Amino acid sequence: MEVLNLDLMGAVPSVFTRPVNPEYPASLEWVGLNKNCSVIPERALELKDESNYHGDHTTTDQWGRFETIEWADQPDWYDPETHYRGWIPLARENDVRRGAWARATRTNLSFTRLADGTYKLDEDASTLVTNDLIYFRELLEEVCAGPLYDQLSHAPPLFDIDRIELTYASELELHRMAMDAKRSVLEICGHLTWWTAAVSDWMNGLDHGVVERVWNLELRSYKARGLLITVNQDWKEINFPLLVKHGVPIFYVWGLFEERDPRFKRLDPRILANYLQEVRTRDVRGLWGDEVAVVRCELEVAARYDRFLQLKLDPFSRPRNPVPTGSPISGDVLYYVIDFQHWARRLLSEDEDASVMGKLYHHIVVEGVSEKVTRVIFQRFHCKPRDEVLNSDSSIMEEDLPEPDLAAIRERFKGRCAPRKGQTFDPETGVERTRPLGEEKTIDEISRFEADRLLVNMPPCLGGPMVMMPRDDPEAHDATALGRTLGDRLTSPYSDRSSERREYDSPGPRAHVVGWVAAMARTEGRDSVRNYSADRRVPGPRYEVRRLVRSPSPGYDDIRSHISISTRSSRAGTPRRSASPEPRGRRHYPLKLSSPPPFRAQASGMMTVPEMQQRRARWLNDFADWGRAATFRASLWRVPFEFQWNQDVLEYGYLIISKPAEFRLRYQALTDANIRFPRHVLELALERGIGFAIGFKRSDTDRFRPKLLRTGRQVSKSVVDRHGKGLRLNPAPSISTIYEQYCGNIGKIGGGPLAPSVVARGGGASWILRAYIGIELVREYMKGPSVQVSVHQSGANDSGDADCIDVSWDELGSAEYESIFGYMPGTTQAEDTYFFPTDEIMEEYSDHYFREWNPFCDLTFKRIKAELDDKRGKRRTRKEWRDYFQSSNRGKYAPAMIVNREFVDEGMDRITR
């Protein structure tokens, strides 16, 4: 429980959820803490860029309220300059406190119509408004002049009191003025509420009369307005412990990206909602009761981060540039502190003692080069072990090391030190630095959902797919630049609204698909297959289609029958014939991991955005409903967030994938708005056991060549070729002896150079190696190919294809692959036995499995492994495996939908037609 943020009563905040948009598949949802999501404005996502706006041309209603988002009493998006608005007190019944007229935003002030037809507040209302404005203005000025208030913090703007006595040409203009006065009072009230709640000793240095006047307002007894937050952007500044503690409503969008990031486990609505209500009270039995362990495990992951979502650092670790031992600091010294991770440094304030800071926190020393000034920088987020400090000096008592009020520090100094959009600070020195080339930038969640998903996912017959980019953007036509900067992210097409309108209104091929994931989520129509390089107006490389056919049943044999995703340069627009046996209208556009293919919009039939939204929603909902029963949303395991892909893999890799796997990934990319980056698609395939491989050209394999060929997975070609030979099981009198042989074989395979590629192969082999060897194989695979490809240029390749481009990838031999399942040959093929059913056996005899790992498969393999570990397992022939799965194919255990080749063909036809 100590992992979760608690309110003043020591309870987990109440949690409410609702879909972001009911017209879309339920992949994104609003989460509300401390308040129901029904108070979120309907157009909140659409109006995020226009939030906190109070310009003159904004349309208003009969009370002068904004018709978009009235931030005076509706939750609005977090803005660093107006963050205190989330604390604005809301109206309540029988409110007689000062400022009650301002909280009544849906009640007009009394006014008088003059003889000349103009309007003016009557005398009583004018006096009330003027007195309160002066009263709250004086309080604000006194509080902001206090010694603890940071003068660089943003304070509310002041209302021009002279406007109250003016006359107005219309009744609506008068109400607009009155509403502006109400907003000014409410802003000041929100600011006072925030400051008094955040800083416990805010009254220090203030006149007693001022403190008493603030307390008499009883602002903290009102319910607060609340904030809309973009979690992955605002977490570095948001003070979640403070907001939850005082019951300020927090609303945020929750999706796959947030769910996968362990930093945000404290905000997971499932954990918050179920930890007390379900996990502690429900009697769970059997394998399906793993939810208890899962939630507890996720809480353990959350415990690696503190209340402010910062990664906890080892107190015994040292900074890279620690204080030199035994070398005194000479000359002038300036003491700085970095309060939180990713923040800028600041000079110590008057109430902070450098000697105490040195005992509590790790710090570094930076010697001046051109000036004789030494800078000592304390890292408040990197504490020293308190026991070590106390034991090292007997003169230090526990009371000499006070616990800082981090919530108050965060609120006091975030105005000057918290990073703004696009800012990054050195983690040790706190100095602002430029973003390194290729570093992933956080994209706008809302514009991506409303724009990228809208335009990319539509079939051409419905007006898409296309994502707009300005014609004069050099990166739009530079494949190399796209590979560097767009390889692992999507770019919002609405960053330039003027160019957006220009692209919509002008016909012709001016659109490019931006982002590899966008292309995965693309649908093609029969008329969209064209020779793009023949059109000189569409620059860039030409993208071609290759399907390697190596079996009588293309796309269903195994991973050797695949689609290669690649780019090819072309000459003068001469089309190259594809080796695919499929009709031209059914062709699949290839994708290189780093570069998106150019795609041209139709010259005719352009539609407006609302029309495209409606048609897209209808098509996408029908498609999602059709396939929803054939898949599942949750993942059975997670690729750890700290596992990072080698950027060279994403930039130079070619995706090798079977037709069923391609359909499943494209279905997820179409229906799941959380799929944002290429790594999401690849990690989704790893988590779902969807087999794939990543190939590389010979010219690019040197990038992954290890420096030394001495240990483990870095071995000679002869060792690689011999690896796995002779691993078949030998007969023995007892099952335990055979199982010991099997475990030894798994250890040999898991320690070999090709083990990581088995994890990507998916299916049961991936599950077995992760269960017996560990998920570190996933990290190894994400680093790049093994020596089989990077050094010896062997493994599987596309040399047998008529359109080969010399791509190779890691591949485990068939004998070693069978050994993973505990294969033991019999006298005849019918008598061959296995400890675990192979993918071919499950695909043939189980209606639950077809190229995607699911809960049924996971529980089946867990049960088999548990029986083997308890020496109760057995080897089964193919006939015995058929009988084993027979009971689960019918009755209450039967799947809701049987996924087979015909289903995949129909799904691909829905996408491509």
Split at pLDDT 50, 70, 90, the class of 24 is low
SS3 224: strand
Q: Is the pLDDT of residue 729 over 90?
A: no
Determine what percent of the chain is predicted with pLDDT higher than 90.
Answer: 24
**Do 287 and 863 touch, CB atoms closer than 8 A?**
yes
**pLDDT at position 712, please?**
47
Which amino acid, one-letter code, is at 870?
D
- Quote the CA–CA distance of 101 and 96 in Å, as a whole number: 9
Residue 381, token pair as written in the block = 């987020």
* Adjacent-strand bridge partners of 335: 376
Query: Of 148-152, 572-576, 632-636, 877-881, where does the model show the most confidence?
Result: 877-881
**pLDDT at position 520, please?**
55
**Secondary structure letter of residue 113 according to DSSP:** E
**Do 657 and 566 touch, CB atoms closer than 8 A?**
no
Residue 49, token pair as written in the block = 């860029």
- The radius of gyration of the chain's CA atoms, rounded to the nearest angstrom, is 32
**pLDDT at position 228, please?**
94
pLDDT, the chain, mean = 73
- Quote the CA–CA distance of 585 and 570 in Å, as a whole number: 22
**pLDDT at position 319, please?**
63
Which pairs from 622-628 meet CB under 8 Å and 24+ separation?
Answer: 623/667, 623/670, 623/671, 623/910, 623/911, 624/25, 624/670, 624/671, 626/907, 626/910, 627/667, 627/671, 627/907, 628/25, 628/671
- Quote the CA–CA distance of 909 and 913 in Å, as a whole number: 6
Task: Name which residue leads in pLDDT, 32 or 560.
Answer: 32
- Quote the CA–CA distance of 322 and 365 in Å, as a whole number: 7
**Secondary structure letter of residue 364 according to DSSP:** E
Split at pLDDT 50, 70, 90, the class of 726 is low
**pLDDT at position 89, please?**
94
Split at pLDDT 50, 70, 90, the class of 636 is confident
* b (16+ CB within 10 A) / e for 163-191: ebeeebeeeebbbbbbbebbbbbbbbbbb
| 391 phi/psi in degrees, rounded to 5 | -75, -25
For the ranges 190-204, 275-289, 292-306, the lowest mean pLDDT is seen at 275-289
Q: What is the mean pLDDT of residues 664-675?
A: 78
- Quote the CA–CA distance of 828 and 840 in Å, as a whole number: 18
Q: What residues contact residue 343 under an 8 Å CB cut-off, 6+ apart?
A: 236, 414, 417, 418, 419, 425, 430
For the ranges 409-423, 627-641, 725-739, 803-817, the lowest mean pLDDT is seen at 627-641
**pLDDT at position 505, please?**
30
Q: What is the mean pLDDT of residues 857-869?
A: 91
* Adjacent-strand bridge partners of 833: 824
pLDDT tens digits, one per residue of 219-253: 999 999 999 999 988 999 999 999 999 999 999 99
Domain ranges, ordered by start, for the chain? 90-222, 332-433, 445-666, 691-820, 822-913
- Quote the CA–CA distance of 464 and 452 in Å, as a whole number: 11
Determine what percent of the chain is predicted with pLDDT higher than 70.
Answer: 68
Task: Name which residue leads in pLDDT, 90 or 152.
Answer: 90
Q: What residues contact residue 429 under an 8 Å CB cut-off, 6+ apart?
A: 345, 364, 366, 377
For the ranges 320-329, 556-565, 601-610, the lowest mean pLDDT is seen at 556-565
Q: Is the pLDDT of residue 384 over 80?
A: yes
pLDDT tens digits, one per residue of 156-211: 988 999 999 999 999 999 999 999 999 999 999 999 999 999 998 898 889 999 99
**pLDDT at position 861, please?**
93
- Quote the CA–CA distance of 778 and 767 in Å, as a whole number: 11
Q: Is the pLDDT of residue 528 over 70?
A: no
Q: Is the pLDDT of residue 1 over 90?
A: no
Q: What residues contact residue 598 under an 8 Å CB cut-off, 6+ apart?
A: 512, 513, 532, 538, 539, 540, 543
- Quote the CA–CA distance of 836 and 458 in Å, as a whole number: 42
pTM of the full structure: 0.55
Q: Compute the Cα dihedral for 608, 614, 618, 621 and give only its sign.
A: positive
For the ranges 321-335, 362-376, 819-833, the lowest mean pLDDT is seen at 321-335
Q: What is the mean pLDDT of residues 285-306?
A: 61
Q: What is the mean pLDDT of residues 661-665?
A: 85
| 224 phi/psi in degrees, rounded to 5 | -90, 160
**pLDDT at position 725, please?**
54
**pLDDT at position 506, please?**
28
Q: Is the pLDDT of residue 817 over 80?
A: yes
**Secondary structure letter of residue 876 according to DSSP:** B
Q: Is the pLDDT of residue 358 over 80?
A: yes
Chain centroid offset of residue 598 CA: 26
pLDDT tens digits, one per residue of 56-109: 446 778 788 888 788 889 999 999 889 999 999 999 988 889 999 999 998 999
Residue 176, token pair as written in the block = 């607009």
Among 378, 388, 325, smallest CA distance to 355 is for 378
**pLDDT at position 597, please?**
37
Q: What is the mean pLDDT of residues 841-861?
A: 88
Chain centroid offset of residue 136 CA: 42
Split at pLDDT 50, 70, 90, the class of 612 is low
Q: What residues contact residue 647 under an 8 Å CB cut-off, 6+ apart?
A: 438, 487, 488
Cα dist from 505 to 406, 538, 568, 609, 658, whole Å: 53, 18, 32, 11, 39
Q: Is the pLDDT of residue 386 over 90?
A: no
Split at pLDDT 50, 70, 90, the class of 50 is low
pLDDT tens digits, one per residue of 542-590: 222 233 333 333 333 333 333 333 333 333 333 333 333 333 333 333 3
